[in-house]
Structure 1
């Protein structure tokens, strides 16, 4: 094909048919431009197709990551709920009231018990951020919700550190009175309750606030999973 055009061009120049040569040159340029446009279109089509495949994969991976987070948040919430119930059980005693409480040693022990840290699964979101691919998820509103939830996760880590510090401090106060922190004896408890910092440490150990915070985080995680599931069905349809 190229040989044919080269031969034609040389013949037109030899025969001094300048107007026909000019028309031929314009046509050749147009053919080149059309070829470039077609190549660009094919390249864009391939890139869009690859992006759609990648979007489906990332959305699916995000759903799996968040499901893991949801399980962990559910476990933490269950722990904090038990801790809160125990705190309510011993609340009258902390106020200096005489009250008979079953399993009192257990309920006091729960006040300085510490749950494993919340460690969200961030593999997919880190890959999206590090590779600059967040925009591959076309729904802007959904993209913002994803970023917002992971920002809340970061704040949660700070709040968790504060909560655990308070519990470790309370554990230190308890260790001054109890031979075995896991099984405080009635006599040891009576002595410890005379210690104001110990009592105040239990009252101000952020248990209720932490439970509410985890509850809200759990709900937002579940909501985002549902929205991602809906979006997944839409882009797979």
Structure 2
């Protein structure tokens, strides 16, 4: 900026020198008056040069911020799309687990009913899948660098922060969920020679134990499915809002 300012001042100063040389800055009735005009002119030139340089600097900075915002928007959208894929996979798993839990509900209530694939419906109750791990590279970069305000839409920023805060709670909840499943696996191991392939007779014996029944009832499957569905909706909504904002602002 300093170099540009000096160049502009030199340009305007040359014009002034030309004017002075041609006596176009005013009649030199008095030498002091002439110097005073010259000094005032120099000050004006400096101020003009600084203002122009500042204007150019602000324009360049604003241009850089717009380009950065566009890059971060693209990165956030891609991160969230990765999250959406993972959340959908978790949801499919939980839907199967919930359907099986509903299927064996009569047995948990003490009714002697014949259920097809009974071993599968019970085995999935203590199945554990990979935990939800959000793609947080972009949001961490924005927070650690203090650049979250690069996203100019304040409501969009709040939506981003809110979702990632919920992600953190979700990871904590999933750890509790998986911990409960591990306990259920250990309990099932006391009844089944192979917890992955229990026999029908072993299952009916296990159903005589209220601790086993309560362990299945309290495995958080339905609550987890509701939480994941809520996250899926919020993630999808944020992706749509980010894409809409990017199209409106950046084309």
Distance 1:179 1:34 in 2: 88
Does 2:173 correspond to 1:150? no
Distance 2:30 2:37 in 1: 13
Per-residue deviation at 1:188?
1.4
Offset from partner CA, 1:23-48 (integer Å, 9 cap, x none): 21111011111111111111110010
Number of aligned residues: 231
Distance 2:188 2:44 in 1: 86
Per-residue deviation at 1:196?
1.4
TM score, norm. by length of structure 1:
0.93
Per-residue deviation at 1:16?
7.1
Does 2:54 correspond to 1:75? no
Distance 2:173 2:109 in 1: 27
In structure 1, list runs of 5 or more residues that go unmatched: 9-14
TM score, norm. by length of structure 2:
0.88
Aligned residue for 1:65?
79
Distance 2:174 2:143 in 1: 24
Does 2:133 correspond to 1:119? yes
Match of 1:181 among 195, 210, 213: 195
Aligned residue for 1:225?
239
Aligned residue for 1:20?
34
Classify the secondary structure of the residue corresponding to 2:127: coil
Classify the secondary structure of the residue corresponding to 2:193: coil
Runs of 4+ residues over 3 Å off in structure 1: 1-6
Classify the secondary structure of the residue corresponding to 2:126: coil
Does 2:144 correspond to 1:140? no
